[in-house]
Structures are given as C-alpha cells and as structure tokens.
Chain A
Amino acid sequence: MKTDIILAGVGGQGILSIAATLGMAALADNLNIKQAETHGMSQRGGAVVSHMRISDKKIASDLIPLGKADIILSVEPMESLRYLPFLSETGYLVTNITSFINIPNYPDPEKVMEQIRKLPHYVAIDADQIAKEIGNARASNMVMLGAASPFTDIHFDKIRNGVKAIFEKKGEDVIDLNIRALEAGYEFSLQNK
C-alpha cells in the first residue's frame, strides 16, 4: 500500500497536528513514513504545505512527485487549489470550505468553490461548523482528518487510536471531543464523496 498526501493550509492553522496524528497511526501500523513540513518564515501567515508519504515499502523521496498525490487535504479552500499539479488522476481533493482571508487580494470565495466543483473527485466540508456543533471550533482539523480518512490505506481504527495518542495528556474530555470530530468528518465523506 502507499498513500501520498499533500496537507495544505495557512501558517498558524495547525496542519501539523493532522500530520502528527496520521504519523502516529502509521507508525503504530508498522508502516514507513516520510513527512516534510514547512517551518520558518511562512509560518507567519503564509502558505504552508506538508508532504506526507505512508507506505509498506521503503520511501525514497521526502517530496511527493507531481501527479502522484492520492489526497490533497486542505484546511483552507484556496490553498487546496495551489497544489493541484501534485494530485493524481484518481486522487481526491478534500477541503474545508471556510476561507482564511489575510491578504487584500483574496479572490471571490464563490469563484474558488467553482474551481473545486470542477474536479472529478472532491469533498468540500464545512469543518468549522461541524466542529462548533460538536463543541469546539478548534477541533476542525480533526474533522478534516476524518474527512480524508476514507481515501487513505490506513484502517480507520488506527487513525482513531492516533487521535487518542496525540491528545493523551489532555484528558478524557479532549480525547472524546476530537474523536467525535474525527468521526463526524469521516461520516460526511462517506456520504458526500
């Protein structure tokens, strides 16, 4: 098996927590992982991307080649489109629909959605709203991870365990909230893919 994921967002949105959770799940599954992150200047509100590669075989490159990504997982709609050249023909684009507007020339959000809807395989989800309904908007990244889960080759139980492990020190309530966020995202994708 092999799953190549482009994780996208804006510096400060916390895409690395998604990567860490998936990494934990993959490691527990004895899979090989390479995950390249963006640190430094771009973390100040710039575009950030992480290349996450999971495989049962040895992984060569830390970067995913163009046209090879199985999933683009983006916590921001315009950012999801920035990495389209990486998406394979059969790949899924999974994106949050809440715009993060910190630049004066941010495009009309409807025009962004138009481009997303043109894709053959996509899931567009209001992760912020779903997280709020569950109890905390900050869990929206776990909603996003849940929404991408059906398109990975990792069993959903393993991802659930990854969430437990990541939030272990924060107590039962936080674990529970994030698990419910994960499951809500997962259900949404199953119904809307």
Chain B
Amino acid sequence: MQKQLLLGVEAIAQGAVDGGLSGVYAYPGTPSTEITEYIQENTLAEERNIHRLWSTNEKTAYETALGMSYAGKRAIVCMKHVGLNVAADAFMNSAIVGIKGGLIVTVADDPSMHSSQNEQDSRFYGRFAMIPVLEPSNQQEAYDMAYEGFQLSEKTGSPVMLRITTRLAHSRSGVERKEILDENKLSIPADHKQFVLLPAFARKKYRDLLQKQDELVRLSDESKYNDYIPGRDHSLGVITCGIGYNYFMENYTGKSCPFPVLKISQYPVPSALVKKMEDECDEILVIEEGYPLVEEMIKDFFGKGTPVHGRLDGALPRDGELNPDLVAKALDLSLPVGQSVPAVVVNRPPALCQGCGHQDVYAVMNEVMKDYGKGRVFSDIGCYTLGALPPYETISSCVDMGASITMAKGAADAGLTPSIAVIGDSTFTHSGMTGLLDVVNENTNITIFILDNESVSMTGGQDSAAYGKIESICAGIGVDPAHIRVVVPLKKNHEEMARIFREEIEYKGVSVVIPRRECLQRAARRKRNKK
C-alpha cells in the first residue's frame, strides 16, 4: 500500500478509525483540532456512522467518551493541554473506575505557547492519574499508537493517554496503514458497580489501580515503543522522550551515534531500562519536549548519584520547544552558523482580520470606556483576545475559558464599577453559562458582551454549540430580557452601538450585549463550499 502523507493529528485520527473507533468527542483547540475534523471528513467514519460531532467543552466530551466506553465501544477524546484542566475531574476518576471499551485520551501540548496561555506538560496528568501514556516520536508511531492504544486500554482496563506536542501534531509525513478492525459490539460492564465511586467502592478501586502499577511498568519495559540502542562510548547515556528522539538523531545524520540511547515513548517510565543505562553510563542527558518529568524522577535529590543533565541544570533551556540546534548545544557539537536576521525585519504578530466584527466592537468600546478609565474589561480565550494588542488594547485579562464573566463578578464584588466581561459565543457555552448563573443569582452589577460570530473561529471556524441559542440561554438563566441587547457590529452602526453600550453599562444589574455578525473567514469558506 502506498504511504499516505498525514499530519501527526491526522495520523492519530486515521489510526483510531482503522483501530475500530465508534466515537470521537472533542472541543476544538490548537494543536488538537484536526483530529476530529479529519474523522468528520473520513469516508469510513461516515459509512460506519462513527460519532464525530463537536462537544460543548472538554469535560462533556470526556464524560461522553467514558459513557461510550461503558457501553463496550471504543472511543477517543481529544483536546489541547489546557482542555484537560477542564476535563480533569472526569479524567482523574476515569482512571479509578477503568474502562470497558478501549478509551484513548489524546492531549496535544503546546510548548513555546504558539497558540496557548501556558505550556503545561500532560505527561504529569498521566502520572497523576497513574495510567499508561504513549508519546509518539513520529507520524507512523502516532498512527500505530492510536490503532493499538485501544487494545492497550482494554488489556490494562485503563484509559490510555496519547500525548503529542505542536510540532508532531502539525508535521506531515508518510504513514502506512494497517488492516481495518471491526468496531466492538454493544455490551455493558459485567460488574454493575465498576463505575460507582461511592467511597466504599472507590477505596477498593483505588487499591486496584495502585496494584496495577507494577504491571504497567513491566509493559513499558517490554514495549516496542521503548528502545534501548547500545553505544560504545559509555561516558554519556542519552534518554529521549517522544519527538526529542528526532532532534537528537538529527545530529547524527549519516554517522553512527557513539552513546547508548534510551528512546522512551511509553510510560510509566520503563524502570529496568533506565536502571540499565544508569549501570552502564557515567552521566545521563535527558531530552524531553515539555517539563523535565523524567529528569526530575531520576535526578538524585542529594546529588550523590549519577549526574543527570537536561532542562534542570541548563544543558537545555528550562522552557520552550526543543529543536536540533538546542540539542546539539547540549551535546557540545559545533554548529554551522547561517547569516543573522537583518535589522530591517520587524515582528509580525497575529491580528484581527480586516473587516472582522470584533474590530467594530473594540472601536466603540474604547470610545465608551474613555469615560470610565482603563482596566475594567475582563476577557476570555478566542480571536477577540487579540484586543489586548495595539491598536485596541481594550482588554485587561485572558486567563482561562469562561473567566471573563466570573473575574468581572469578583472585581464588581470588590467594588469595581463598571465591571465588564467580553466573551465569545462558543466560549460562553463552553464555560461561561455557570458563571452567568452566579452573576444572576446575586444580581451583580456587570455588563457582559457576548461577541457572537456564529463560529469557533480561532481554531478554524468549527460549528459553535451556542449557535442560535444565546438569547434564550441568557433569559433562561435569568437575565432580564429587557437587558439582553443585540447589535450588528458594523461601522455604520457605530452611534447606535455606543448608545446601547452606554445604556447597559449604566444599568445597575446584570446586562448582556450581543454584537452578532458571522466570522469573515467562516462566511468566505461557506461561500467557497457552496460553489
């Protein structure tokens, strides 16, 4: 079979479909979005009617996937690293109840924060939950691990984490597919108490999970994804994790590597293999994309054991994405030096598209807020976060999904008037609705702007769960319908918008303003597809 050219995320999607998937559950988030999008477009997924619609947030996605697993079928749930914070309650407890049908949780981390607010390393979550973690080093492994991950999950009775980082997610390479497997049949757990975490049951289940750990380590030591490659020079042993292996090997292109190398792509950390390296090498260098997880584990607290180098001692940078050059430096290899960047080159940061409705909202808001002063607009995660940058500089916060409404409430509770929240349509249904209920229950004096572009735009224009529902949700939660105002953010409506913004900011109570105009990119795509 000819190889298919697939992005890392697409390889995961194809691997899951070929491996007998029955449902993908996800909320869009860079760099994980294309896994679900690929399955949405996939012919086999369509033929089999695999579940592939977006969920409202990562927690609902995770729990729904767990429900499918309960019913015996194979499910994959996909999210970006910070999405796992949202799903963490379901995730941690799913490790204790275990699974019925194979369950893979794919988490895409974003070291260097290309499109994220932090660079947390999901392998820590894997260790926290005490479940197997797979970390592919290339696109073929990404395919294989999604395909075989269901089997590993069913064999161990545990959810399996598939952890990737931005670079692999969005890098393309040739992938060879395997034989297409059947879906699992519908079946429910033989033990009707398996999923019941009443304390008495939970204590037993937790002890079961603890007991399983030795077996998981043994599986890691024997895993084909973990490889001990011998070397003649034992002055140094090199442990690579995931894509770190590639950056290391790049430095030995066309020649042989003198040092023993332990390539880790399955966790828990394979302890026999690490001990073997400790036995035979004088020092160890750990190359991992993300936080220094393995390095911290094997570094001796009292500093008496084998010296361990990596991100903690400065051999590699403490933060950010790795690359072949940083690894070369850690190995003291000499580097060819290209020309430096001429001074004439200036930064080109991302910006709102020309003609985007958010531009109109921020132009009016800046005018209105002049009367009140800076530092009163709390915002959220989405394209409109770019309103923090020039020329707008309207917003003063962006922390996590939904935090605009609740932070505005807290500031209002502290006495800040006016206190304003700016949130997007799909961020509102993701995590804003519960905060709005808090606000309504206390009739807090804040004004909430729900910027409705009828799309999840920053991630590429996916369907928004909020579509057509925002007014009824707000009214249902208890916002006075007289203070739910809809405007069309266009230049010609500037005066009307300014008037309505002022009226609602002056109103002493909860008000919601909904500037509504379809995302330009989504509109363009819709027109292209119609042709």
Contacts and interface: CB of A to CB of B under 8 A. Distances in A.
Interface of A: 10-11, 19, 23-24, 27, 32-47, 51, 57, 59-63, 65-69, 78-79, 81-82, 84-89, 102-107, 111-112, 115, 119
Contact of A85 (B2, B339, B347): B339
Interface residues of B, dominant DSSP? loop
B353 A45 contact: yes
B342 interface: yes
A39 B344 contact: no
A40 B3 CA distance: 27
Contact of B338 (A19, A44, A88, A115): A88
A66 B335 CA distance: 8
Contact of B340 (A38, A60, A85): A85
B501 interface: no
Contacts of B348: 10, 45-47, 78-79, 102-103
Interface of B: 2-3, 5, 7, 30-31, 33-34, 114-115, 167-174, 243, 246-247, 249-250, 253-254, 323-325, 328, 335-342, 344-354, 383, 386, 391, 458-460
Contacts of A39: 30-31, 33-34, 115, 169-170, 460
Contacts of B31: 39-40
Contact of A82 (B115, B341, B386): B341
Contacts of A89: 336
A81 B342 contact: yes
Given A44-B386, A47-B348, A65-B324, 14 more contacts: A27-B174, A33-B173, A36-B172, A39-B170, A60-B247, A62-B246, A63-B167, A63-B247, A65-B328, A66-B325, A85-B340, A86-B338, A103-B349, A107-B345
A14 to B, nearest CB: 13
Nearest to B168: A62
Given A35-B172, A66-B336, A84-B340, A103 B350 contact: no
Nearest to B33: A39
A115 B141 CA distance: 43
A85 B345 CA distance: 13
B253 A60 contact: yes
B350 A46 contact: yes
A104 B5 CA distance: 39
B458 A41 contact: yes
Contacts of B243: 62
B341 A112 contact: no
